Amino acid sequence: MEEKNNQYEYHVPVMLQECLDGLDIHPDGIYVDLTFGGGGHAREMFKLLSEKGKLIVFDQDADAKKNAWTAPNFHFVASNFSFLKNQLRMLGISKVDGILADLGVSSHQFNEPERGFSIRSDEKLDMRMNQRSGASAYDVVNEYSEEQIMTMVGKYGEVKSPRRIAQAITLKRQAAPIATTGQLIAVLEPIAPKFKENKFYAQVFQAIRIEVNDEMNVLERMLEQTAEVLKPGGRLVVMSYHSLEDRLVKNYIKSGSFDGKVEKDFFGNVLKPFKGITRKPTVADEEELERNSRARSAKLRVAERNEGE
């Protein structure tokens, strides 16, 4: 495996050791990193594998492929992780020993201004994880109705004034399209809460990003497939960065459903594919927070695949 001196510049891996501990890696096993990014987690996973072990990594972002390396037991899959089961089948793999998903937007994506993820720059509104397909943030901001924008920022941004945001956006775009991140910030500035402006902007940007990438539906499809491809006793490790994601992950691990309702069979046995290894989510310690502020909102959950569900 080729080493890179700047391997963590692309994305500093959050709670790296906690993720490796959660996966409980067996050297000859088959493991999947669903969010390869800069390869920070994946490189350390790969080091723990023997030549018999395999690592399959997923990333739909074309930039991420530059961080891949060449090895007989390493496979880069240029795909959204919602196609997990089909992509593994194409590699001749039906069951795996462990799956990692780090749901955060990579440092690289935030730091590349032209991607339009960051509130710190003035670049075109894009926010697509896969820049080759789908509607961009520009399309959402300029084409959605006032009601659609209000619903989106209320649901995915969890802001207190979704209608005011929707009204401000639809009013401004009547004169000219809102084309850049800076122009969107300028629209939001008059209604941003005093001393909490950046958090407010980040919440609105988060809502648009989730909508553009259909993140909640994609996450649900991925979680359901992890239950199908993990061997009994296999580990699922998921790191989420906002309450919407964490709620889905928590509910699915706890109850086997996304709304948190427990299903039972005829005999009263609870039907759920996973059991939680950690009762509460793991969070980064103070030392890591000093090194990497993006770890502040991260919540790590670990689950084990039940027998025969």
Annotated binding site for S-adenosyl-L-methionine: 39-41, 59, 81, 102, 109
> What torsion do the CA atoms of 155, 157, 160, 163 make, to the nearest 10 degrees?
-70
Centre a 10 Å sphere on the Cβ of residue 50 and count the other Cβ atoms it contains.
11
Q: For 252-260, which contacts have Cβ atoms below 8 Å and span 24 or more sequence positions?
A: 252/223, 253/301, 253/303, 256/309, 258/220, 258/223
Binding residues: 39-41, 59, 81, 102, 109
Centre a 10 Å sphere on the Cβ of residue 88 and count the other Cβ atoms it contains.
22
Centre a 10 Å sphere on the Cβ of residue 56 and count the other Cβ atoms it contains.
23
Please count the helices (runs of H) and the strands (runs of E) in the chain: 12, 9
What are residue 208's phi and psi, to 5 degrees? -65, -45
Structure tokens at 135: 């509607």
Give CA–CA dist 285/294, Å, rounded. Answer: 12
